[in-house]
Amino acid sequence: MVEWCLPQDIDLEGVEFKSMASGSHKIQSDFIYFRKGPFFGLACFANMPVESELERGARMKSVGILSPSYTLLYRYMHFLENQVRHQLEMPGHYSHLAAFYEDKKGVLHAGPGRGSSLPPVYWLPSIHRYMSQFIKFFGEQILILWKFALLRKRILIFSPPPVGVVCYRVYCCCCLANVSLPGIGGTIPESKPFFYVNVADIESLEVEVSYVACTTEKIFEEKRELYDVYVDNQNVKTHHDHLQPLLKINSADREKYRRLNEQRQMLLYSQEVEEDYNPCEEDLFVLFFLEQNNRIFQTLLEVSASQDKTLTAEHARGMGLDPQGDRSFLLDLLEAYGIDVMLVIDNPCCP
C-alpha cells in the first residue's frame, strides 16, 4: 500500500508494486529504478525483522521519488536509504520527507515531455563500476545485445532480487544504441529504459514497440508477445525465427570485443601512470559503441546517396561487420531505419 505521499493529488496507482520488487522479502535492502507514466522513479527498499505477529516478523518499506528524468535521481539515493531506515525504526514520522519535497519540488516537477531523452554520458558517478560489471557479466554477448538494442527490439532482462544492479544493466543496454548522426533515428522509436517492470505493467508493455526493462517475475518468460529478446542471467534468447542468426557470435564481434577490452586495459594503465588523467570507463564504453554506430550509419547513408545504392562485402568490413555473419543483421537494420540500399553480399549455400 502507499502509506504517504506528496503531492497528494498525484496518480500513484501501481507504484507500490514498482517500488518493492517481487521477491524482495528474501533480501535486506535494495534500490529500484522504474517508470510511472511520463516519470521515472527511484526507490530504496529495506527489510527489518520485528517481534510483531501483526507484521509477521518483518517490517518492509520503500521510500521513493518521481522525476521527469532519471539522470538526476542518483543524487538522492543516500537520502532515500537513510529515510527508509528511519521509516522502519520510527514509522509515521514524515517531517523529513515533507521538508525534502518542499525543497526539491521545483527541481523535480516538470512537464512530461523530457522524460525519455537519450541517456547522457554522465548520470552516475559510480556507473563505471557497473559498466565494468556489465562487460564482465555478458562478455562477448554484449555484441548480441548491441545488435538487438540498435534494432530497437523489446529486451526484457530477468533476474531474482536484488534488482538494483539489474536496473543498471538496462541503462547499459540503452547506451549500446546511441547514434549522433543527424537524420538517423527519426523513423525509429528511441531506445527507452523502462527499468523495473512487473505484472502490473503488462497492459502498458503490450503497446510498446521498443523498450529495455528488467523483472524479477519468471512468469514474463511465458508471455512471449510482450518481448522480442529475453535475457535470463547470461543466457540471451529470442523466440523469433528471423532473429535467431543474431544470437551467433561471429569473427567481427570477437574483434570488436577484443578492441573494447584492449581500450579498457589502456585506460586502466593510463589511470595508474598519469594521476591527472581521469576519464571513466563509462565514457570509454559509450564512446566505443557511439563511434561504431556512427561508422555503420555514415557508410549506409553514403551508399544510399550514391548512384547505384549497392552495399558490398567491402562496405560491411569497413563498418566493422562480418559480411556473411552479419548479413541478417544488416537486412534488419536497413528495414528498421528505412535506408534504401541494395545488399549484394551473397548468401552462401549450406552443404
Give the pLDDT confidence score for residue 211 in this predicted structure: 96
Please tell me the number of Cα atoms within 13 Å of 286 on its side-chain side.
20
Mean pLDDT, rounded, for 169-187: 88
pLDDT (tens digit per residue) in 116-151: 444 444 445 455 678 889 999 999 999 999 999 999
- Cis upstream peptide for 7 (omega within 30°): yes
Strands 310-311, 342-343: pairing is parallel
The domains of the chain are located at 15-96, 125-301
49 vs 287 pLDDT, higher one = 287
All cell numbers assigned to 77: 539515493
For residue 41, pLDDT over 50 is answered with yes
Across the beta sheet with 154-158, the strand order is: 58-67, 39-49, 29-36, 193-196, 211-215, 154-158, 229-232, 235-238
Mean pLDDT, rounded, for 204-218: 95
Compute the Cα dihedral for 100, 102, 106, 111 and give only its sign. positive
pLDDT (tens digit per residue) in 146-158: 999 999 999 999 9
As a whole-number percent, the residues of the chain with pLDDT over 70 amount to 89
Supply the DSSP string of 209-250, one letter for each residue: SSEEEEES-GGGGG-GGG-SEEEETTEEEES-GGGGGGGS--
CATH homologous superfamily for the domain 125-301: DENN domain, C-terminal lobe (3.40.50.11500)
CB atoms within 10 A of CB 270: 12
Beta bridge partners of 63: 44
Mean pLDDT, rounded, for 345-351: 56
Burial class (CB in 10 A: 0-12, 13-18, 19+), 106: exposed
Give the pLDDT confidence score for residue 17 in this predicted structure: 92
Mean pLDDT, rounded, for 172-196: 87
First-to-last C-alpha distance (Å) of the chain:
61
274 vs 22 pLDDT, higher one = 22
